[in-house]
Structure 1
Amino acid sequence: MPRRNQPIHHASGRPSAQDARHAGNAKRMTRMSGHGCPRRSFWAAGLTVVACAATSLGCASWRPGGTTQQVAETPVPSPGVRQVSFEDTEPPGAEVDPVEVEKKSWWQSLGGSSVERSIRESTGKVVQDKARAKRLYAEGETLYEQGMKAPVDQRDAALHKAADNFKLAGKYYVESDLEENALMYAAECYYFLDEYPDAVEMYGKLIKKYPNTKYLDQVGNRRFKLARYWVEKYSQNPSQPLIPNLTDEQTPLFDRFGNAIKLYDMIRLDDPTGKLADDATLAAANANFKQGKYEAADRFYTDLRQNFPSSEHQFIAHYLGMFCKLKMYQGPSYDGQSLDEAGKLAERMERQFPDRVVEHREAIDAAKKEVRAKQAERLWHLATFFEGRQQYGGARFYYHQVIKDFPNSNMADAARERIAEIADRPDHPKQYAKWLIDIVDYDEDKDMPKIAPEDPTPRTANAQNQ
Structure 2
Amino acid sequence: MKSAPQPSPISSFRRCRNALTTTWSLVALACVTGCQSIPGTPTGFGEIFGRPDESVDAADEPPARENLISQVSHTTESDIEATAADKTTWETTQDQATSVMNFVTGREQVDHSKAKDLYQQGDAEFRRASGMDRQEAQDAFLGAAKLFKRAAEAAPGTAIEQDAMMMRGESLFFADRLPDAVDVYQTLQKDFPRNRHNDRVAARLFSISRYWIDVERATEDDWFTLDLFDRTKPRLDADGNAVRVLDQIRYDDPTGRLADDATMAAAAEYIRQGKFEMADEFLTDLRESFPDSEHLFLAHLMGIRCKLEVYAGPHYSALLLDEADKLVKQTRTRFPDKMRDQKYADMVARAAAEIDYLKAEKLFKRAQYRDKQKYFGAAAGYYQRILDNYPDTPFAETARERLQAVNDQPVRPAKRLSWLQNLFPDRGNNKPPLEPTYETILR
- Structure 2 counterpart of 1:296, from 272, 278, 290: 278
Matched to 2:364, the amino acid is W
What TM-score, normalized to structure 1?
0.65
Q: 1:181 aligns with which of 163, 183, 188?
A: 163
Match of 1:331 among 296, 309, 313: 313
SS at match of 1:425: coil
Q: Which moved more, 1:251-260 or 1:199-208?
A: 251-260
1:234 pairs with 2:216: yes
Residue 284 (structure 1) aligns with: 266
Q: What whole-Å deviation, never above 9, does each CA across 1:171-191 have from its counterpart, x for those lacking one?
A: 121000111111001100110
Provide Cα deviations, 1:138-192, integer angstroms capped at 9, x if missing partner: 2212221121222111122222121111112111210001111110011001100
Verify the 8 A CA contact 1:278 1:304 in the aligned structure 2: yes
- Compute the displacement of 1:392 (Å): 2.6
Q: Contact 1:162–1:189 at 8 Å: present in 2 too?
A: yes
Structure 1 runs not aligned, ≥5 long: 1-60, 69-116, 447-466
2:204 aligned with 1:216: no
C-alpha separation between the residues in 1 aligned to 2:172 and 2:188?
14
RMSD over aligned CA atoms reads: 3.3
Which of 176, 179, 201 aligns to 1:197? It is: 179
1:407 positional shift: 3.1
* Structure whose CA Rg is larger: 1
Whether contact under 8 Å (1:245, 1:252) holds in the other structure is no
Distance 1:158-1:428 versus aligned 2 partners, 3 A rule: same
Q: Is 2:347 the partner of 1:363?
A: yes
Q: Distance in 1 between matches of 2:317 and 2:228?
A: 43
Which one has more relative contact order, counting CA pairs under 8 Å at least 6 apart? 2
1:404 aligned residue (388, 401, 417): 388
Separation (CA, whole Å) in 2 of partners of 1:364 and 1:174: 55
The one-letter code matched in structure 2 to 1:172 is A
Of 157-166 and 195-204, deviating more is: 157-166
Q: Which TM-score applies when normalising by structure 2?
A: 0.68
1:294 shift after superposition: 0.8
User: CA, structure 1 residues 263+175, in 2 after alignment: closer, same or farther (shift >3 Å)?
Assistant: same
Post-superposition shift, 1:335? 1.8
Structure 2 Cα separation of the partners of residues 67 and 326 of structure 1: 68
Q: Percent same amino acid among aligned pairs?
A: 35
State the shift of 1:218 in Å: 0.4
- Distance apart, 1:332 and its partner CA: 0.9
Distance in 1 (alpha carbons) for counterparts of 2:351 and 2:127: 56
In the TM superposition, residue 137 of structure 1 has moved relative to its aligned partner by: 1.8
Q: What is the SS of the residue equivalent to 1:394?
A: helix
Structure 2 letter corresponding to 1:393: G
Cα offset for 1:136? 2.0
Q: Does 1:341 align with 2:334?
A: no
Aligned to 2:93: none
**2:387 aligned with 1:423:** no
Deviation at 1:205, TM superposition (A): 0.9
Aligned pairs (5 A) from 1:66-465: 120=102, 123=105, 127-238=109-220, 246-359=228-341, 360-432=344-416
CA shift, 1:410, in A, is 4.5
Give the drift of 1:66: 12
- Look up the equivalent residue of 1:275 and give its one-letter code: R
Residue 118 of structure 2 aligns with an amino acid whose one-letter code is L
With over 3 angstroms needed to count, the CA separation of the structure-2 counterparts of 1:410 and 1:192, relative to structure 1, is closer
Aligned equivalents of 2:104 and 2:172: distance in 1?
A: 18
1:249-279 deviation per Cα after TM superposition (whole angstroms, max 9, x unaligned) = 1111332111111111122221122111111
- State the distance in 1 between where 2:421 and 2:190 align: 65
Work out the CA distance in 2 between the residues paired with 1:290 and 1:393: 46
- Given that 1:137 and 1:166 are in contact with CA atoms closer than 8 Å, whether structure 2 keeps it comes out as yes
Q: Give the drift of 1:121.
A: 6.1
| Cα distance between partner residues in 2 of 1:355 and 1:229 | 34
Q: Is the 8 A contact 1:295 1:328 kept in 2?
A: yes
Separation of aligned partners in 2, 1:204 and 1:340: 39
CA displacement at 1:383 relative to structure 2? 0.8
Larger helix proportion, structure 1 or 2?
2
Cα deviation for residue 408 of structure 1 reads 4.4
The one-letter code sitting in structure 1 at the alignment partner of 2:123 is: E
The C-alpha deviation readout for 1:349-370, integer Å capped at 9, x for no partner, is 1111111112212222111111
Contact 1:163/1:186 (<8 A) preserved: yes
Change (3 A) 1:414 1:151: same
Contact 1:245/1:254 (<8 A) preserved: no
| Unaligned runs of at least 5 residues, structure 2 | 1-22, 31-98, 430-443
**Contact 1:148 / 1:155 at 8 angstroms: preserved in 2?**
yes
| Structure 1 residue 437: Cα displacement | 9.2
Taking a change above 3 Å as real, the CA distance of residues 318 and 437 of structure 1, as seen in their structure-2 partners, is farther
Deviation of 1:340 after TM superposition, in Å, equals 1.7
Query: What's the CA shift for 1:393?
Result: 2.8
Conservation of the 8 A alpha-carbon contact between 2:149 and 2:165: yes
Tell me: CA distance 1:67–1:156, structure 2 relative to 1, closer, same or farther (3 Å). Answer: closer
Distance 1:409 1:145, change over 3 A: closer
> Within 1, Cα distance between the matches of 2:159 and 2:421?
80
CA shift, 1:420, in A, is 2.5
The amino acid across from 2:336 in the alignment is: P
| Distance (whole Å) between structure 2 residues aligned to residue 408 and residue 65 of structure 1 | 87
Question: What is the identity, as a one-letter code, of the residue corresponding to 2:137?
Answer: R
**How far does the alpha carbon of each residue in 1:313-347 deviate from its partner, in whole angstroms, 9 at most, with x for none?**
21111122112212222221122222222222111
Answer whether contact 1:121 1:168 (CA < 8 A) is retained: no
Deviation at 1:311, TM superposition (A): 1.4
Structure 1: how far apart are the matches of 2:101 and 2:238? Answer: 33
Letter in 2 for 1:388: K
> Partners of 2:383 and 2:120 in 1: how far apart?
81
